[in-house]
Amino acid sequence: MRMKKAFIGLSLLCMIVPGIAKSADSLNSVAENDRSSIVANWKFTKQHVKSGSIDKGNLIIEDTTKQGNDLELVTIGDPASPELKKMLKWSEEDYYAQDKVNSLKFANYENAPAGRYFKTIRDAPINSENFDRGFTIELVFKMPRNPKGDMGLFSRQGQAADLNKMEGEKKTLSALSISSDQKLHWTSHPSNLNYNVSNWSRSLNAGEWYHLAVVNDGSTTTLTLNGVSDYGESEKAIGIAAVKGKGWNIGATEWGNKLDALFGGNIQEIRIANKALTEKEWLV
């Protein structure tokens, strides 16, 4: 009898194990699909420095997806300005207050003698990505304690006029900025329209951490800030128009092919997917 029970138990185990293995394979497959949709992921920590340093002005932040979308530090203005040293520093602050997690603190301000931001390297694949199947742009960032004026968070280089899109904001292509009254503004020229579409948020609080998700499902675009997405939907917008040979700016926006505004505050992570990710798939 004991042998029979043991045999039955072994038989059941043999039946269950393949099911467990199959479920695990299924989860791994889903995870792999999720990873394949991520086209760029930048973590602004010391652990993800590919080369260089802030002090030497040649810092390179790696794209953790290993797809070649690395970021290079850009310095503008007077390189001999004593204020330059404080424009970009490593910070121990992060969204969840974790150990061994850093962020980068930007101290740019309007009319400063010098400033710093990042841009994608020249041959980065994301520079030519049109996101026609949709996109998810996520940022984990902190507002400065004393915000002043407009600030640029993220932008696509080039202007709409370069693509003969002569309506709307023809001097900007795509930009994520913070207005002087501390409201987030996403504006972009889709591939299917000759003018830009926009999404706005409520006012942000000084010194507070935020997770932002700008999501396009291949048609409409929504903006969600710290889990609240009641900021409306855009009209039908497909993709993000791109100018050949142009890349992306991190911590800066452009106007008329010239730098317009730089960011002041902390940036911990930015991740971009070529489809609309669900909330469960978001960073936060």
39-281 adopts what CATH topology? Answer: Jelly Rolls (2.60.120)
- Separation CA 257–CA 237 (nearest Å): 23
Task: Please list, in sequence order, all residues whose beta carbon lies within 8 angstroms of the beta carbon of residue 263, skipping any fewer than 6 positions away.
Answer: 106, 108, 117, 151, 152, 153, 178, 251, 252
Q: Where are the domains of the chain?
A: 39-281
- Separation CA 18–CA 97 (nearest Å): 41
- Separation CA 145–CA 182 (nearest Å): 12
String of DSSP letters for 213-275: EEEE-SS-EEEEETTB--S-B-SS--S----TT--EEESEEEETTEEEEE-EEEEEEEEEESS
Average pLDDT of span 126-151: 96
pLDDT in tens, 234-266: 678 999 999 999 999 999 999 999 999 999 999
- Separation CA 244–CA 162 (nearest Å): 10
pLDDT in tens, 149-171: 999 999 999 999 999 999 989 99
**pLDDT tier, 233 (very low <50, low <70, confident <90, very high otherwise):** low
| Chain Cα centroid distance, residue 203 | 20
- Separation CA 103–CA 105 (nearest Å): 6
- Separation CA 250–CA 69 (nearest Å): 12
Could you give the C-alpha distances from 107 to 88, 98, 200, in angstroms and in order? 6, 23, 24
pLDDT in tens, 59-97: 999 999 999 999 999 999 999 999 999 999 999 999 999
Please state whether 274 falls in left (phi above 0), alpha (psi between -120 and 50) or beta: alpha
